[in-house]
Structure 1
Amino acid sequence: MTPITRVTTPHVDHGRRAPKLAAPVAWSLAVIIPVAFLAVFFLWPVGSMLWRGVSDAGTGDGGAFGEVLTQARTWRILGQTLWLALAGTAGAVLLGTPGAYVLYRCRFPGRNLLRAVATMPFVLPTVVVGVAFRALLADRGPLGFLGLDGTTTAVVLAMVFFNFSVVVRTVGPLWASLDPRSAEAARTLGASPLRAFTTVTLPQLVPAIASAASIVFLFCSTAFGIVQTLGRPGGGTLETEIYVQTTTLLDLRTAAALSCLQFLIVVVAVLVANRLRRGTETALRMRDATTHPLGRADMPAFALTLLVIGGLIIAPLVALALRALASRDGFGFGNFALLATSGSGFAGGTTMLEALDHSVRIAIDATWISLAIGVPLALALSRRAGAKWARRQRILDGAIMLPLGVSAVTVGFGFVISLQVAWPEVARSGLLVPFAQAVVALPLVIRVLVPALRAIDPRQREVAATLGAGPGRILRTIDGPVLARGIGTAAGFAFAMSLGEFGATSFLARPDYLTLPVLIVRVLGRPGADNYGMAMAAATLLALVTAGVMMLSERLRPRGSGGDLW
């Protein structure tokens, strides 16, 4: 037995402690380089913004932050931000919970198609979402008679549109995993369907619903593109006010102080979401999914889900497409032909097609930057190791996820007051834009790659090592195939997010090298029917390109990567 023990022990340790024993220099670089990247392009800009907000100038108590807190306008905008986020969260939860039941617990023809349609809004650029609701609710739109254009109600509806799928895909898998026998036993004992749901099913769903609500609140509180394209009703939000103070009023002190307030809201939402998500992930391990054929008792939830998908999701997108095709010369492609021009009432400048070309080029740069940082980091985070390394992995994984929670407006403004000041020539060249977009896209790259790599059975690596394979060959033959498929998916997500990114880019884009989302918002602010129609056509084109990229990415999704990124 002794010789066997001596051979087996190193073999197991090699598999469990790969980050320490296999190519230590390479594993160290896989961690050090991403940490340095985040330190320069995320922690420094955000930290500079926070420091300027709490300590900059001013002779009043508390510096700029204390001065801004004494202004009535600040509290009004803060209240507006919280109200919109809470209303959007409530709407998404109330409509998304029945949708989760229908799309995950019930079985019927066309369910997968409805799931795909319900998920589509989340991958669309926020600028497109805002423009679609303008097309639906404008005076000349299908629902213009409601008088909702430019109101806070329109913003709330757009937020629900955007986040409906978050609730569905967070609550749905847990609901499908619940054991139906508990509710059936309650019904057998005389409980009504409503009582069985409220006393048996709902308590088990609370962790998932609360987790979804916290995530939706985070997204609603940082919905800069939606509020900006809908005209900043009610005075706008903290994000839109930061943008106005920076670009219009040139008051960086006030903008920094407001960014601190916005950052506090985001941090609280991220902490709550992470805490609740752990409970949801634990619950999802209970059992395999259980579904049943759609029955008569399911009809109210089914009808509501169809109404939401048809009236809240499909209708704005159809209205956007129809408005894009309605030009002053009649129904056709006249507005799309205008994309090769800079619009009426404006001489020179970037055309929509040029802006699309700029967006694609910048998105390509942002994608390869995020992959260059994300791939080695995902390999390090996916390795099974001892307790000490596992703790470091959790800390590093949490740090990598921070850009997903921090507002892109905060990131962009941080770039303005830190990197743009330190490297003015680089800023003027436009090179900061893809780096800012890469920071925003990096968490999605990690979210796609790490679960897929962790799904690999570690015994495969142990057997390969026992047969004499080195770390490089193990990486090529075992991790390589999964990684290659995952890279395609991660690249698609990163490219789509960068293509539609508006918050950070609106601060950093050069006047002569605008991206399509930034130009769409600018053209919407110009008077003239041609400009409005051109903006609708450009938003439709951006939606089609983004949806095409995301459809391709979904087809490339590796097994074991999970169904959700949040």
Structure 2
Amino acid sequence: MRLGLMAVPAVFFAVFFAYPVVSIVGRGLETGGGSRFGRIGEVLGRADIQGVLWFTTWQALASTVLTLLIALPGAYVFARYEFPGKKLLRAALTVPFVLPTVVVGTAFLALLGRGGLLDDLWGVRLDTTVWAILLAHVFFNYAVVVRTVGGLWSQLDPRQEEAARVLGAGRFTAWRKVILPALAPSVAAAALMVFLFTFTSFGVVQILGGPSYATLEVEIYRQTAQLLDLPTAAVLTMVQFAAVGGVLAVHAWTVRRRETALRLVDPAGTSRRPRGGRQWALLGAVLGTIALLLLVPLGVLAERSLSTSGGYGFDHYRALATIDEGGGVFLVPPLDAVGNSLRYALVATLIALVVGGLAAAALTRRAGRLVRGFDALLMLPLGVSAVTVGFGFLITLDKPPLDLRSSWILVPLAQALVGVPFVIRTMLPVLRAVDGRLREAAAVLGASPLRVWREVDLPLVRRALLIAAGFAFAVSLGEFGATVFIARPDHPTLPVAVARLLGRPGELNYGQAMALSTILMAVCAGALLLLERVRVRTTSAGEF
């Protein structure tokens, strides 16, 4: 049964991830019919490359710790408190996660750079410093922690903590002894995703770091696109691949040691309005953090989309519906990118849910090294250069029976590669928390494995499945690194269209880029708000 569930995810990753990545790396290491593995030591011995490796590692660790410290209170507030506008704010939290990194970098420059908000108010500039990079990473990944950890936290039975308090444990002791061990797998999963995204950070570092800072991803892009040095880029890709594999192995070992069965309840019954000054203060602090760190940059983008030389208006939005006949960058009106992105994202979400759901079901129970290695393999797309994946698609998927280079499905396939790990990491902690005796009882009563899944597992994980769908849809909307190489000129996605507009001078191009970014924010917020409404209906229908 387990091997059958693993078959589809294994084939998917072998064909659309392992094959393209291995092919592009192999091509970079071969020349004249011979192997160039001797280049590995030469590249890694360079002082500039060692500096890139060191900065990549420590900034990812710092970004992960800072994100957890800032976002865990938010996860608690959204899991346990009810307050006006909660659903809308929960949907808005995920919007930063889908924005193209170029746009976010520009927004943070407007806040932290020359002439930005801090410069105007206090004469402080943080651009070209590591603090700007760290704050932008928290901006991106805040929702990862809130939705991943908060999703499980809201389903934990609060009576377990109350029982510990009755037995004499203090508030902090009860949290440390009861809640923290239960949340450990979910926190570890969130930390893993944040680390992988910041370890492979590209646009944020390139724009905010200036010439002083570069991650492996930035250096791979520079070696590939600017210096045309494929051997060096291949070596760096292998280093990145090995580092990510090591992180995933450590993660699998630590999570396996913390796995436990939990009592899950309806999340609607675990949240309530804040009581007392301390709880209201915590809610105020979390809402203030969200406003300053997340909503202000988004507000800057919206303001710039409306700002024209003649004042505020919708000129940039109207221009999106036309084609620039004077040497423009699009074969179609830029507004067409909205429909393209929605169609691609929906297909990518469906693929990610099928592949990720099957993989999560296969990984539910403890297993040997083969299955644990399979778990780590499924997370590798988060840590492998999107530049490598994009180039790999172009050079491998161009011959029968996989001649897909001219097919529209290529873009959703690339986007689904990034969405699958989110589906797995969101669903797996909840699946593993289901008491195995429920499955055993259903099987003893004659239920088939499929019916056991439908009658026991699915009702408990339906909420996690919807959260996973939201993440997959969001990352598909905002995927840029691989899509920029494979999206057809007459079918651009929103991030690709934004990048093309930002790459051309002129006030109109910049304003159109900000307008498209604002549309992307609105589409994402609307989709996630709709998902929240569906989630509320399903949970209120008595599924738990």
Q: What range is the shorter-chain TM-score in?
A: 0.7 to 0.9
- Which residue of structure 2 aligns with residue 217 of structure 1? 195
- Which residue of structure 1 aligns with residue 299 of structure 2? 318
Q: Rate the CA distance shift 1:328–1:69 in 2: closer, same or farther, 3 A.
A: same
- Which residue of structure 2 aligns with residue 78 of structure 1? 53
| Secondary structure of residue in 2 paired with 1:340 | coil
Give the counterpart of 1:503 among 473, 481, 485: 481
- Which residue of structure 2 aligns with residue 92 of structure 1? 67
- Which residue of structure 2 aligns with residue 133 of structure 1? 108
Give the counterpart of 1:269 among 219, 236, 247: 247
| Secondary structure of residue in 1 paired with 2:94 | helix
For residues 336-365 of structure 1, give each alpha carbon's deviation from its aligned partner in whole angstroms, at most 9, with x where no partner exists. 122234669843534421333433343344
The 5 A counterparts of 1:45-60 are 45-51=20-26
Larger displacement relative to structure 2 (298-307 or 521-530): 298-307
Q: Distance in 2 between matches of 1:383 and 1:117?
A: 28
Q: 1:117 Cα deviation (Å)?
A: 6.2
| Secondary structure of residue in 2 paired with 1:352 | coil
Larger displacement relative to structure 2 (426-435 or 287-296): 287-296
Q: 1:537 Cα deviation (Å)?
A: 0.8
Give the counterpart of 1:542 among 484, 506, 520: 520
For residues 240-292 of structure 1, give each alpha carbon's deviation from its aligned partner in whole angstroms, at most 9, with x where no partner exists. 22223223332222211111222233223323333344456538659996989
- Flag structure 1 segments of 5+ consecutive residues without an equivalent: 1-18, 21-26, 561-566
Give the counterpart of 1:356 among 326, 338, 363: 338
Larger displacement relative to structure 2 (441-450 or 300-309): 441-450
Q: Rate the CA distance shift 1:416–1:374 in 2: closer, same or farther, 3 A.
A: same
Query: 1:360 corresponds to which letter in structure 2?
Result: L
- Which residue of structure 2 aligns with residue 411 of structure 1? 389
| Secondary structure of residue in 1 paired with 2:481 | coil
Q: Distance in 1 between matches of 2:532 and 2:522?
A: 15
TM-score by length of structure 1 reads 0.73
Give the counterpart of 1:330 among 297, 308, 311: 311
| Secondary structure of residue in 1 paired with 2:260 | helix
Q: Retained in 1: the 8 A contact 2:249–2:376? A: no
1:236 maps to 2:214: yes
Q: 1:536 Cα deviation (Å)?
A: 0.9
Larger displacement relative to structure 2 (170-179 or 431-440): 170-179
| Secondary structure of residue in 2 paired with 1:282 | coil
Q: Retained in 2: the 8 A contact 1:103–1:111? A: no
Q: Distance in 2 between matches of 1:66 and 1:57?
A: 20
Q: Retained in 1: the 8 A contact 2:6–2:359? A: no
Query: 1:315 corresponds to which letter in structure 2?
Result: V
For residues 180-200 of structure 1, give each alpha carbon's deviation from its aligned partner in whole angstroms, at most 9, with x where no partner exists. 676898898xxxx99x79997
Structure number, greater radius of gyration: 1
Q: Retained in 2: the 8 A contact 1:362–1:433? A: yes
Q: Retained in 2: the 8 A contact 1:441–1:494? A: yes
- Which residue of structure 1 aligns with residue 90 of structure 2? 116
For residues 465-512 of structure 1, give each alpha carbon's deviation from its aligned partner in whole angstroms, at most 9, with x where no partner exists. 57xxx8999999999999999987766544432221112112333445
The 5 A counterparts of 1:5-44 are 19=1, 28=4, 31-44=6-19
Query: 1:336 corresponds to which letter in structure 2?
Result: Y
Q: 1:110 Cα deviation (Å)?
A: 4.0
Larger displacement relative to structure 2 (253-262 or 295-304): 295-304
- Which residue of structure 1 aligns with residue 288 of structure 2? 307
Q: Distance in 2 between matches of 1:546 and 1:508?
A: 23
Q: Distance in 1 between matches of 2:213 and 2:328?
A: 31
Larger displacement relative to structure 2 (457-466 or 529-538): 457-466
Q: 1:42 Cα deviation (Å)?
A: 1.2
Q: Rate the CA distance shift 1:133–1:341 in 2: closer, same or farther, 3 A.
A: farther
For residues 112-149 of structure 1, give each alpha carbon's deviation from its aligned partner in whole angstroms, at most 9, with x where no partner exists. 45971684346433435444434434555544533334
Query: 1:381 corresponds to which letter in structure 2?
Result: A
- Which residue of structure 2 aligns with residue 552 of structure 1? 530
Query: 1:124 corresponds to which letter in structure 2?
Result: V
The 5 A counterparts of 1:407-446 are 407-419=385-397, 426-427=404-405, 432-446=410-424
| Secondary structure of residue in 2 paired with 1:179 | helix
Query: 1:116 corresponds to which letter in structure 2?
Result: R
For residues 379-421 of structure 1, give each alpha carbon's deviation from its aligned partner in whole angstroms, at most 9, with x where no partner exists. 963898xx98x98766655544443454534432433454458
Larger displacement relative to structure 2 (454-463 or 215-224): 454-463
Alignment: residue pair count = 522
Q: Rate the CA distance shift 1:38–1:422 in 2: closer, same or farther, 3 A.
A: same
- Which residue of structure 1 aligns with residue 44 of structure 2? 69
Q: Distance in 1 between matches of 2:452 and 2:277?
A: 54
1:525 maps to 2:486: no
Q: Percent identity?
A: 43
Q: Distance in 1 between matches of 2:314 and 2:38?
A: 54
Q: Rate the CA distance shift 1:392–1:82 in 2: closer, same or farther, 3 A.
A: closer
Q: Distance in 1 between matches of 2:296 and 2:324?
A: 27
For residues 146-188 of structure 1, give each alpha carbon's deviation from its aligned partner in whole angstroms, at most 9, with x where no partner exists. 3334544322211011222344456666697673676898898
- Which residue of structure 2 aligns with residue 8 of structure 1? none
Query: 1:503 corresponds to which letter in structure 2?
Result: G
Larger displacement relative to structure 2 (217-226 or 422-431): 422-431
Q: Distance in 1 between matches of 2:356 and 2:415?
A: 14
Larger displacement relative to structure 2 (432-441 or 489-498): 489-498
Query: 1:352 corresponds to which letter in structure 2?
Result: P
Q: Distance in 2 between matches of 1:206 and 1:438?
A: 27
